[in-house]
A = this chain, B = another copy of it.
Amino acid sequence: MKALFTLFIATAWLTPSLAYAQASHHSVVHDTKTLPSEILGGERNYAIYLPPSYQTSQRSYPVLYLLHGGGDDQTGWVQFGEVQHIADKAIANGTATPMVIVMPDANTGRRGYFNDIRGGWNYEDFFFKEFIPYIEKNYRVKSDKRYRAVAGLSMGGGGSFMYALHHPEVFSSACPLSASTGPLNLDDAKRRYNRPRRNEPDVKVEPVADEKIDEYLQQHSALKLVENLPADDIKSVRWYIDCGDDDFLYEGNSLVHIAMRKREIPHEYRVRDGGHRWSYWRSALPTVLSFVSESFHQN
Contact = CB atoms under 8 A, between A and B. Distances in A.
Interface of A: 1-33, 47, 52-53, 55-60, 62, 75, 78-80, 82, 84-86, 89, 91, 94, 97-98, 142, 147, 245, 250-251, 254-255, 257-258, 261, 267-273, 277-279, 282, 296-299
Contact of A297 (B14, B19, B25, B278): B278
Contacts of A57: 28-31, 84
Given A2-B1, A5-B3, A53-B26, A16 B19 contact: no
22 contacts: A1-B2, A1-B3, A6-B8, A6-B9, A9-B12, A10-B11, A14-B18, A15-B16, A16-B18, A20-B21, A22-B23, A27-B53, A27-B56, A28-B57, A31-B59, A32-B58, A47-B59, A79-B147, A250-B261, A254-B257, A269-B271, A279-B297
Interface pairs A-B: 3 shortest CB-CB:
A10-B12, A31-B59, A19-B21
Contact of A270 (B6, B250, B267, B273): B273
B29 A59 contact: yes
Nearest to A4: B3
Nearest to A254: B254
B23 A55 contact: yes
A248 to B, nearest CB: 9
A55 to B, nearest CB: 7
Of A17, A21, A31, A282, chain B has the most CB atoms within 10 Å of the CB of A21
Contacts of A53: 26-27, 29, 84
Contacts of A277: 298-299
A8 B47 CA distance: 35
A50 to B, nearest CB: 9
Contacts of A14: 12, 14, 18
Nearest to A58: B30
Contacts of A75: 59-60
